[in-house]
Structures are given as structure tokens and as C-alpha cells.
Amino acid sequence: MEEKTLVKKLAKVMQEVKYIQKTGFNTFHKYKYATEADVNEKVREELAKQNVIMLPSMLGHEMRTHTNRSGATEYITCVDMQFTFVDGDSGESFTVNMSGEGQDAGDKGIYKAIAGAQKYALMKVFMIPTGDDPEADEGVDERNQGKVNTPQKTQGATDLATDAQVKKMFAMVRGKGIPDGEIKTKIADLGKTSSKELTKADISKVFDWIEKYKVEVSA
């Protein structure tokens, strides 16, 4: 009986890929990030040393239109991907599922979505740290202690939106039938990664956007 080696090889890759340096920089929102190329290059090199390949497969996808702040139409593509690691020595395989989303004014949305899904599949499988921690959110802790108007250090003197304002925003979104992806995109357009980071000025803009939003109805 041939020895099973795939898990050992994947563990070896995890041991070698300890950290991914952030070389990407979003000039619009002003933040650093680990690029797809950074992750792929580092992990691919170690997988090759172990004689392991990763095969991508798309399980499904959907596309919807989005009107950006400039009034131009863009396309948001969501993909459900399956990534299979195959051991070239033993023939063993291990499968991981991951979703991805990409936004583009042309025909590149699906490629962005696939690239994003692959990057995060690799980062989560091999538990690769990049220095980002979703729990390192001082604003959430402050609001849980009743300090609703205490700003985050990164916000300077600007007050964060209150819990009541955020709840009202999502209630308005549901009432108007706006897809979840649309409000996430709007929050990202404001330079925030989640509703917890919205300031009172931000959420005022979101309220205006919701009021003017027109839900598209398929014929």
C-alpha cells in the first residue's frame, strides 16, 4: 500500500511560507495589501518543491450591474471556485472551496473574481498572515462599552456612525430591495472595509444614495 504523503507535503509548505509581505498599494483608498502575485509566487515555489500541483475549477458564477459614483455602469461578478491539490507522487488529492468577487467596467470582472478566490484559498489553507486582523477594531470595543461617539485612532477627530444609524441603513437597504453586494460596494467606495468604519458623514452619504437608488427589474 502506497504511503499517503499529501498532508505531510502541505504541512511542509505551511512551514516554509511564514508570512507574505504587502507590496500592493491601493492609491484610491490608501492602504497596502498582499497581491495575488505575491501569494502565488511564494506558495507555487513551495508546492513545486513538494511535487504538488493545484487545479482550479469553477463551480458557478453570477454577474450583476452596478452604477458607480460617476454614473458609469460596472459589472460585479461572483464566482464559486474549487481548488484541488494533487500529489504528483502518491496521486492523492485534497479539495478546497472558495468564493470570490470582482468588479470591472469591462470584461475582466470574472478574472478578478477568480484571482481573488485563489489568493484567499491559498492564504486560508496555509494560514498565511499578512498583518491584517479583523478583530483589531477598537471602534467595536468602544461601542460595546457604551462609548458610541469615541473615534477610532485612525479616524482622528471624526465621529463614527452610531449603532442606530448603521441599523437604520441596513433597514433601508432591505426595505428598498438593494442586493447585499451593492451596499458592500458602496461602503468600499467610501474607503471603508465594513459598516463598522463608517463615519457620520459617510453614512449620511449612504442614506442619500439609498434614497436615489433604483432597483433594476428584469423584463
Q: Are residues 94 and 154 in the same domain?
A: no
Asked whether residue 131 is assigned to any structural domain, the reply reads no
Q: Are residues 57 and 164 in the same domain?
A: no
Q: Which of 102, 125, 148 is the last residue of a domain?
A: 125
**For residue 201, which amino acid is it?**
A
Q: Are residues 115 and 167 in the same domain?
A: no
Asked whether residue 181 is assigned to any structural domain, the reply reads yes
Q: What is the mean pLDDT of residues 170-193?
A: 84
Answer whether residue 2 shows pLDDT above 80: no
Q: Are residues 22 and 93 in the same domain?
A: yes
Q: Which of 75, 91, 125 is the last residue of a domain?
A: 125
Asked whether residue 14 is assigned to any structural domain, the reply reads yes
pLDDT interval class at 157 (50, 70, 90): very low
Answer whether residue 137 shows pLDDT above 70: no
Q: Are residues 37 and 97 in the same domain?
A: yes
Q: Are residues 23 and 117 in the same domain?
A: yes
Q: Are residues 57 and 34 in the same domain?
A: yes
Asked whether residue 133 is assigned to any structural domain, the reply reads no
C-alpha pair distances (Å), 54 with each of 81, 123, 135, 149: 12, 14, 31, 48
Give the residue, 113 or 141, on which the prediction is more confident: 113
What global pTM score does this model have?
Answer: 0.57
Q: Which pLDDT does position 187 carry in this prediction?
A: 87
Where in the sequence is the domain holding 189, given as residue range(s)? 138-211
Q: Report d(CA 114, CA 80) in Å as an integer.
A: 8
What digits encode the pLDDT tens for the residues 4-37?
Answer: 899 999 999 999 998 877 778 777 667 777 788 8
Asked whether residue 185 is assigned to any structural domain, the reply reads yes
Q: Report d(CA 59, CA 100) in Å as an integer.
A: 12
Task: Give the CATH number for residue 103.
Answer: 3.30.390.80
Asked whether residue 69 is assigned to any structural domain, the reply reads yes
